[in-house]
A and B are shown apart, each in its own frame.
Chain A
Amino acid sequence: MKYVVCLKVTPKVEQIRFDEVTKAVAREGVENEINDADKNALEAALLLKDKHGGSVTAMTMGPPSFDPFLKLAVAMGADDAILLSDRGFAMADTYATSRVLAAALKKLQEYDLVLCGEASSDGSTEQVPASIAEWLGIPRVTYAIEVEVKDSKLVAKRSIEGGYEVVETELPALVSVELGCNAPRFPDFRRKRWAEKEYKSTVWGMTELGFSPDEVGLKGSLTSVEELRKMASPARKAEAVTGTSREVAAKLVQIINASRH
């Protein structure tokens, strides 16, 4: 069984600052991490490998500076790592991103299950997993909380509004997993040191994937950002309510009654 995990390296959300003057997002000095939901996807793949055997390949689209995160995935247990790196891939929206990831999967030729996190912590569109499946023409199961493989079929419990579904489909297929659906194992740091010294990630760019510049990155995107705005917050009174717990409770009851129309 060959599992391929598509992961995204994302900036730490709490470190991002919005510059009100330039109306741009300031990324200098912001640290990166593997998108949390993608860690769950990787763990799901590793659990399947523990149970059924096979291999796990970690894949990401980004600049060479993202390679250490692939090494981290290897340290967690991935057998191989692929970096999709090209200047032309930059500033891609979900259409262009999913296109590149799908092309890489197609280049691998053989894979049984593609795993992704449900969404990234920065873009949070939740669109890439289903898009990849569509480019590849394989079935998809999104928002999975439990993933199992039985008799060459994917069986997954997925969450839907108000409850869950148990769904089955033939492999090859794609599954996206919910954030927090499992506990990602801590990397083996001895393996990490080995990976950093000895293991070389496969690197594919535009040429290897057979793309022309207008198909990928900013040029290949079908949505564009007109402007960034800080979410308007209504003016709040921010009035302190003080006293003992009992006194505060009494004051709050008055406020609550007054709020009723």
Chain B
Amino acid sequence: MKLEPSFTQRVESASDDKLSLCYQCGTCTAVCPAGVPIRSLIRGSQLGVRESVIGDHRLWYCATCKLCEVGCPRGVKITDTIHALRVAAYEGKKVPQKLESALWGVYEDANPWGGKKADRGKWAEGLSINTDKPAKYLLYVGCASSFDPRLQHVTRSLASILGKVGVDFSVLGGESCCGDVVYQMGEEAFLEELVQANIQSFAKSGAEAIIAVSPHCFNMFRSVYPKYGSIPTALHYTEFLAGLLDKGSLSPGRLDGGAAVTYHDPCYLGRYHGVYEEPRKLLESIPGVELSEMGDSKANALCCGGGGGGMWVDQEGERPSMHRVKQAADTGASQIVTSCPYCIQNFEDSAKTAGVSLGVMDVSEVIARALGLDAGGV
């Protein structure tokens, strides 16, 4: 087994020089919902056994949920470490095939889902969305929310809310992937071009702030893009709507029939950026909505398994979202409400597979209903 000190060095600096702090307690590995052998990957990185580490296919199980970091007693930047390992794995051509084909989609059709570039704007059919005039806010829809019929309803709900409140917003006519899946795979050369192109599009839009539908796009804009250039302030839509609520611009009416709901914190919104209260405030502002909390909530929320490229990788064993929908049903809620497209896709799948009677809704869909807006479809 070859020891490569240069490998140790690069992972160390990518992890903000915290890699050496790990003393192998194994808490991370115990809490990991995806079965990633975190302890051994970190130990391997400390020792510099590059080939062994990047050759471990379980490196790709990681949904980058950060639950491991919550429990780590030494504050090791585990997610950054995993990312550095994936960059090394990409260089070593050790990426799962499905992920690589997603890259082609991003390059040729601006999305990793197999959708055609020309169809990206179809979610907006019937709504008059500004795609060519400068506006104060740029609503960044994202790939999943543009192409998936279930998620198109979320996008339409949000667009309708913004329209009703009179927010001056535009959507990019030729919107292109934010690059999250590219980043998660450890590919850097293409990512740079993609990010730069988007940064230019954002500048051309003249927007002061970007409102992202997906926490994954939101995270890219908040955390990754600034490394390449400056962009307008990035917000997740729940932050933006909560702001409107505070100002009194958003006044949801009573939700017809009421609803007992439980809110699920998406990893990329909660643990990544501390956005816990805003979605709850929005739900609690709706008369008729009874909000309950699951056992593992906020910083301890269980990941749905979708992040970090999770939507393209087949994990061994049960998908984490299976466990989560059972947890949600246990609260007595009839709906699990969340604010992330991957969570919605995973919960819709898992609720069916688990045979659990649980509706899945996005925060925007609940608000839209409470505002009496019919976004069409589902």
Contacts and interface: CB of A to CB of B under 8 A. Distances in A.
**In the complex, A touching B, CB below 8 Å?**
yes
Interface of A: 12, 14-15, 31, 33, 183-190, 192-193
B107 to A, nearest CB: 7
A33 B117 CA distance: 13
Chain B, interface residues (CB within 8 Å), range: 10 to 19
B230 interface: no
B97 interface: yes
A189 B193 contact: yes
A79 B172 CA distance: 38
Contact of A12 (B93, B107, B116, B189): B116
B189 A184 contact: no
A186 B187 contact: yes
A256 B103 CA distance: 43
Contacts of B104: 184, 186
A189 B108 contact: no
Nearest to B100: A186
Nearest to B191: A189
Interface in B219-261: none
Contacts of A192: 189
A185 B118 contact: no
A40 B100 CA distance: 14
A15 B118 contact: yes
A162 B93 CA distance: 35
Contacts of B23: none
Given A33-B108, A189-B190, A14 B100 contact: no
Interface of B: 93, 97, 100-101, 103-104, 107-108, 116-119, 187, 189-190, 192-193
B103 A186 contact: yes
A184 B100 CA distance: 9
Given A33-B108, A183-B100, A188 B118 contact: no
Contacts of B187: 186
Nearest to A182: B97
A196 to B, nearest CB: 11
A211 B213 CA distance: 58
A185 B100 contact: yes
A12 B97 CA distance: 24
B189 A189 contact: yes
A242 to B, nearest CB: 15
B193 A183 contact: no
A183 B108 contact: no
A34 to B, nearest CB: 9
A193 B189 CA distance: 9
Contacts of B103: 186
B117 A31 contact: yes
Contacts of B101: 183
Q: Which 7 A-B pairs have the closest CB atoms?
A: A189-B189, A189-B190, A186-B103, A14-B116, A190-B189, A183-B97, A186-B100
Given A15-B118, A189-B190, 20 more contacts: A12-B118, A14-B116, A14-B118, A14-B119, A15-B116, A31-B117, A183-B97, A183-B100, A183-B101, A185-B93, A185-B100, A186-B100, A186-B107, A186-B187, A188-B189, A189-B192, A189-B193, A190-B189, A192-B189, A193-B189
